[in-house]
Amino acid sequence: QLQLVESGGGLVQPGGSLRLSCAPAGGTLGSYIIGWFRQAPGKEREGVSCISSGGSITEYTDSVKGRFTISRDNAEKTVYLQMNSLKPEDTAIYYCARGRTWGRRSCTFQDSEYVYWGQGTQVTVSS
pLDDT in tens, 6-58: 999 999 999 999 999 999 987 778 889 999 999 999 999 999 999 998 889 99
**Residue 59 clears pLDDT 90, i.e. is over it:** yes
- β-strands 18-24, 92-99: how paired? unpaired
pLDDT digits (tens, 9 = 90+) for 100-123: 999 888 999 998 999 999 999 999
User: What is the structure's pLDDT at 74?
Assistant: 66
Would you list the DSSP string of 22-65?
Answer: EEESSS---SS-EEEEEE-TTS--EEEEEE-TTSS-EEE-GGGT
